[in-house]
Amino acid sequence: MTRSRISSRWIFASVPLLAAAVLIGARTAKSGRVAVSAAPDTSAMALIARGRQGVLSHGCGGCHGGFDDPSAPGWLAGKMSDDQVFAIGACNVVHPDAKPCFKTYPRNLTPDNETGIGRFTERQIFNALRYGLRPEDTPDVDITSMTPGQGNFPAHPRYLAPPMPWPDWRHMEDADLWAIAAYLKRAVKPVHNRVPESEGPPDFWASDYAKLAGPYPSKPFPTENERVPDQNGAAPNH
Amino acid sequence: MRTIGEVMATAMMLLGTLSTPLASARIGPSSPSSPSMASDTLRQPPELRNLSRVPGIVDVELTAAPARLRLVRGGPLVDVYAYNGMVPGPTLDVHEGDSVVVHFHNKLPEVTTVHWHGLHLPAIDDGSALFPVPPGSTYVYTFRIPAGYAGTYWYHPHPDARSSYQVTMGLFGAMLVRARDDPLAALGIADKVLILSDNRFDAHGAISFPDSGSIQADVDLENGREGNVLMVNGQVMPTIQIPPGGMQRWRIIDASASRVYRLSVPGAQLIHVGSDGGLFAHALPVHDVMVANSERVEVLVQAGSTPGERMRLDDLPYDRYMPQTRPANWDSTRSLLSLVVSHAPAAPAIRVPTLLRYVPPLDTTHVAVRRVIVMSQGLIDGRKMDANRVDLHGRLGTTEIWEIQNVVGMDHPFHLHGFRFQVLDRDGVPEPFPSWKDLVNVPEHSSVRIVVHFDDFPGKWMYHCHILDHEDEGMMGVLELN
C-alpha cells in the first residue's frame, strides 16, 4: 500500500501518530464491510448520510479530531493538541533533532470561513481527495489530466502532506468523494480553530508522490500479484 | 585585477551569511584586505531629461533595451536589460499637476510594458499586462499627475508572465511626485532616493536564473525570487555622508521581486513620515519600518553628532515564508549601507512640523460594495488570472470596502492598480491613522480591510499579489469600472 511505503521511508516519530496510523488502517480495512447505498439517491439527506458514512469509515476523525464520534469535541476541527502533530523524516523519539524533519498538522475540516474549509468549493475538496491537491493552492476547476502542466492539472502541484492517504482514497468512487465534500461543507458546524501551516519539502511532496504513489486509475485486474477466482467464485486450486 | 569571485566574496562579507548553496559553492575565499566596497558614495540615479520647455509639461524619452553593464563595482560586464542604458533606470521627477508624456521604445527582444506603479491615470496608460508593447514598437504614455499625489513611486515592466525576469534583469526606476508646498523641502532637508533591489549571480558574474525543474526554481516560485546580493541604487553597501546632527529624508523603494525589508538604523533616530502615496499627517518616531516588495516608505534619519561615527542601515529578520521554503538564514540581519557622520560643520537643529499635510480619511459611511478577496497560493478567489475574464465589476463614483484575506502560511503583498486606498484595519485592529497606499502586505493567515474611492478612469484594472513570481503565475484579477 502506498501509505505503508511512505511510512517505511519517512519514520513516523510519535506514538500517538503510530496509533493514528493504525486506526486509519483498521478503518480503511473495515470499509469493505460497510454497506454503502448502491442506488444513487439524489436527495440531499441521502448525500449527506453517504458522506458521513465515508468520513466515519475512512477514519478522518482519527487525525482531524474526534476519532469515530461525531459528537466528540473537536470533531474534524483539526490540530488542537500537540499529540496530533505528525513528524515526518529522519527525526524520531531518539533523535528528535535529526534532519530532514517536517512537522505537519491535520487541518481543520469544518466549514469555518477563516480557519477551515469554508471558502473552498466542494469541487476543490473533491480535487483534494482525488488528486491530493491542496485546495487553497489549486484553482476551482475540473482537473482534466493526471500529468502536471497538462490540461487543468497545475504545472507546479502542491500536495497534501503524506499522512493524508489520498493516494489510496482517490480510488474511491466519484460519488463517494462528492458526498464527503458535501457532508464537510454542508452538514458539519464550523469551528474556529487555526492550524499552523504544515512544513515540508519545497516541492510540496511532488517528487515523493511521483515515486511512491501507484498509478491512477490502477492497473487492470488481474496483475501478476492477483488471480482470477475459479468458475465457482472460489480461490483457484493451483 | 580582481576576479568576480573576490568581488562577490567581498560583497558577501559585507552582507553577512551566504544565502544559497550555489553562492557558497562557487565563491572562493577572499582576503579582508580586498578594496572595500563600502567606500562607494551612494549615487542618485540621474533624472529623466525633460525635453519640453512648456511649464507644466514633462516630455521624456524612455527606452528599454538589452545592455552590458557592470552591476557590481570591479565586476565584469554582464548582460542586463536597462532603461536608457542604466540600472536602476533614470528617475522621473515631476510635480503635482504636471502633464507627463513618455515616449517609450521597446528595444527588448520580447513584449514589455511600463507600469507607473501607484499613479492615478487612464487605464490605457497604466502599463498593465492588458496593454502589451510588442518588441520594436513605441508606446506613448500620457497622464496628468493629480493634486495631492505627491509621493514616492516607481516604474517597472508588467508584461504577462515575464515581470520577475525583466525586473531581475534590471528594469526598474524611481518616480518622484513633488508638492510645491512640501513641508520638509521647505526646511531644507536633503532628499535621497534609496531603491532596494537584490540579485543572484553565477560564477562568471552573470545574473543567475535557476534551471527549470530544479529545487531552486521551486523555491523561487514559492517564495518569489530572492537574491543574496543586496543593493541600494544598484550599489552594494554604499555610504551616505551626513553632517553632525543632520537630518535627511530617505525615499525608500523596495524594487526587489519578493524580498521584504525591516529597516533600522541603530544609533540614529528614525522617523516614519510617509508611505506609498506620500506624507502622513504626523511624523512617527520608530525603531524599524517594514517595506514589502513594491512598497515605499519615507523616513527622516537624524544622525549622531560625533564626526566619523558610523552607522548602518540594517535589514532585520522578517519571516514572510512558507515553512517549506523558508531560507535557512532568514533570521540573520544584513546591512544595506553605511551612514557616516562627516566632518562638516554641525547642521542646525531641525524641528519636524507637527502637521506634515492633511490626509483626509475616505468616507466609509456611503459604501456601494463590500467585497472579500481571498489570496491563496498562486490564486485569487480560487482562480488564476484570465485576461478575457472580468472578475469584479465596479461603478465609477462609488466607494468600496475590500476585505483581503490571506488563507495560506506565507505573506502576500496586495496591489491595486490605478487607485490609491486607505487601510481600515488589519485582523480587526484599526489602523491608527489614514495614509495613502497602493500596496499592502497581508501577512500569513490574516486579513486587511481597505477602502477605495473610484473617482475617475473607467476600464479594466488589475489587482494582484506583487511577489513578481506569483504575479507571473497568474495570481491576479481584473476589475472593470464603468
pLDDT tens profile B331-353: 999 999 999 999 999 999 899 99
Give residue for cell 559553492: B25
Per-residue model confidence (pLDDT) at position B382: 93
Q: Work out how many domains chain A is built from and give that number.
A: 1
**Which residues on neighbouring strands pair with residue B272, listed in sequence order?**
B284, B299
The domain in which residue A103 lies consists of 2-211
Residues 195-234 of chain B with CB under 8 A from chain A are 215, 218-219, 221-222
Tell me, yes or no, whether A217 lies in a domain.
no
CB B436 within 8 A of CB B276: yes
pLDDT of residue A99: 82
Q: Is residue A231 part of a domain?
A: no
Q: How many CB pairs under 8 A join A and B?
A: 59
Q: Is residue A156 part of a domain?
A: yes
Looking at residue A128, its pLDDT comes to 97
pLDDT at B39: 62
Q: How confident is the model at residue B393 (pLDDT cuts 50, 70, 90)?
A: very high
Return per-residue pLDDT of chain A as tens, 238 residues: 333 333 333 333 333 333 333 333 333 333 333 344 444 456 899 999 999 999 999 999 999 999 999 999 999 999 999 989 998 888 877 787 888 889 999 999 999 999 999 999 999 999 999 999 999 999 999 999 989 989 999 988 999 998 999 999 999 999 999 999 999 999 999 999 999 999 999 889 998 998 888 899 999 999 999 999 999 999 987 6
Closest to A158 (Cβ–Cβ): which among B215, B377, B444? B377
| Alpha helix positions (H), B82-231 | 163-168, 215-223
Least confident of A39-43, B96-100, B328-332: A39-43
| ipTM for the assembly | 0.76
Q: What is the pLDDT of residues B145-158, one digit of tens each?
A: 999 999 999 999 99
Listed residue (B465, B267, B382) closest to A140, CA to CA? B382
- The pLDDT of residue A92 is 73
Percent of chain B with pLDDT strictly greater than 70: 92
CA distance linking residue B10 with residue A211, whole number of Å: 42
List of chain A residues whose C-beta atoms are within 8 Å of the C-beta of residue B384: 139
Those residues of chain A whose CB sits closer than 8 Å to some CB in chain B are 114-115, 119-121, 124, 134, 136-141, 154, 156, 158, 194, 196-204
Is residue A225 one of the residues assigned to a domain?
no
Q: Which of A114, A139, A199 sits opposite B384 (nearest CB)?
A: A139
What's the helix, strand, coil split of chain A in %, to 5?
Answer: 35, 5, 60
CB contact under 8 A, B408 and A156: no
- Please tell me the distance from the alpha carbon of residue A135 to that of residue B378, in angstroms, as a whole number: 11
Q: What is the total residue count of chain B? A: 482
Distance in angstroms (rounded) separating the CA atoms of residues B155 and B60: 14
B371 residue type, one letter: R
| Bridge partners (DSSP) listed for residue B66 | B81
pLDDT single digits (tens) A91-110: 877 787 888 889 999 999 99
Hey, is B437 helix, strand or coil? strand
* Cα separations in angstroms, B348 against B210, B242, B269, B341, B356: 51, 12, 16, 14, 20
What's the whole-number mean pLDDT along residues B354-360? Answer: 95
Chain A residues whose beta carbon lies within 8 Å of the beta carbon of residue B218: 156, 202-203
B408 and A CB contact within 8 Å: yes
- For residue A177, is it within any domain? yes
Cα B188 off chain centre by:
25
User: Residue B11 — very low, low, confident or very high, per pLDDT cuts 50/70/90?
Assistant: very low
Classify residue B139 by its DSSP letter. Answer: E
Amino acid at A210: A
pLDDT, one tens digit per residue, over A3-48 is 333 333 333 333 333 333 333 333 333 333 334 444 445 689 999 9
- C-alpha distance from A163 to closest chain B C-alpha (Å): 16
The three-state DSSP-derived secondary structure of B15-78 is HCCCCCHHHHHHCCCCCCCCCCHHHCECCCCCECCCCCCCCCEEEEEEEEEEEEEECCCCCCEE
Residues A213 and B17: their CA atoms lie apart, in Å, by 39
Which domains does chain B carry? Answer: 187-341 (2.60.40.420), 369-481 (2.60.40.420)
Per-residue pLDDT reduced to its tens digit, B139-186? 999 999 999 999 999 999 999 999 999 999 999 999 999 999 999 999
The answer to whether B156 and B121 are in contact (CB under 8 A) is no
Q: Which of B325, B377, B383 sits opposite A137 (nearest CB)?
A: B377
Average pLDDT, integer, range B362-367: 96
**Direct distance between the N- and C-terminal alpha carbons of chain A, in angstroms, rounded to an integer:** 26
* pLDDT above 50 for B298: yes
Query: Is residue A223, in this structure, part of any structural domain at all?
Result: no
**Chain B, nearest residue to A112 by Cα:** B407
